[in-house]
Structure 1
């Protein structure tokens, strides 16, 4: 039997994965070429054979190139990471960029290979510097840094001078 992939049966007789490792009150720092790329805090991290689960959510800081005072912040109630390249994120999601854009939604997918986030859920986007709020009724597609955002079926509030 492969030691890296353990399956047990729950009370109803259904098969379920058992984590290889469980970490509590976890702080993860990732650096590249001496510069901090991101920082994660999560109360619980469960590593499985094919994915990592953050069942109690996380706080993620993604730092801009070579600077510690510019970052994108993400907070969510639940996250599943597959190969550290694809993330399924759910529950009270807040994403804030250092450029003054905030995003709030209940579910989002993040493809790190393509550097894109997307969903088909109601999403609120706030452009703080322009004092503008947009609502994407049928979801969004955006670059991970929120510089390019495509909204599906929108409405919103625009300032008038």
Structure 2
């Protein structure tokens, strides 16, 4: 064989290999981003959180937590409050309601917050809800659970096996009531 023929064959093989290499490359940016982070580890940790939310210059909420783990690098991102939370919520008249729980997890995509362990909500007018687990739907501004609850108002202590309410407690409903309720004649 002559040199020109061998040179042409080598050139064609080189071009084929080069093209194959380019097509075999893919966009692995997300994989590269996660390389230094273990699959089960948070991407960030925050301690002694004191977060204030304002609306038109007025504080509407104040979140306190000992420790938050940030898993926003996951396919289903969330934040975990392993040190529990204390949340102060202020209404339009600056009246404060308090939400406390031993543990909380907030899911970014669904807007759902799962409060667990010794959940206590105390409204500005003295109503108290106690339960072991409570969900808050941020989009609908709705509280709900299907576990036992105790709801204390100024005149009643109502126990039940579930709870539904809007954020202001104007539509509060204890489900499957097991307590004693006073009724007006």
TM-score range, shorter chain: 0.7 to 0.9
2:158 is the counterpart of 1:134: yes
Aligned length: 149
- Whether the 8 Å contact between 2:37 and 2:43 is mirrored in structure 1 is no
Q: How far apart in 1 are the matches of 2:35 and 2:120?
A: 33
Change (3 A) 1:124 1:56: same
TM-score (norm 1): 0.84
2:89 is the counterpart of 1:59: no
Structure 2: unaligned runs, 5 residues or longer: 1-30
Once the two structures are superposed, what CA deviation does each residue of 1:18-76 show, in whole Å capped at 9, x if it has no partner?
21211111111111110001001100011111111101201000110152xx1221000
SS at match of 1:19: coil
How many angstroms does 1:4 deviate by?
A: 6.1
| Residue among 97, 100, 113 paired with 1:72 | 97
- Whether the 8 Å contact between 2:116 and 2:132 is mirrored in structure 1 is yes
How many angstroms does 1:155 deviate by?
A: 2.4
TM-score (norm 2): 0.74
Once the two structures are superposed, what CA deviation does each residue of 1:119-139 show, in whole Å capped at 9, x if it has no partner?
1100000002xx210001x21
Structure 1: unaligned runs, 5 residues or longer: 9-15
Q: How far apart in 2 are the matches of 1:151 and 1:7?
A: 44
SS at match of 1:3: helix
Whose relative contact order is higher, 1 or 2, with alpha carbons under 8 Å and at least 6 apart? 1
SS at match of 1:106: strand
Match of 2:66 in 1: 43
Alignment of 1:57-136 (within 5 A): 57-65=84-92, 67=94, 70-83=95-108, 85-128=111-154, 131-136=155-160
Higher strand share: 1
Q: How far apart in 1 are the matches of 2:79 and 2:32?
A: 18
Change (3 A) 1:81 1:2: farther
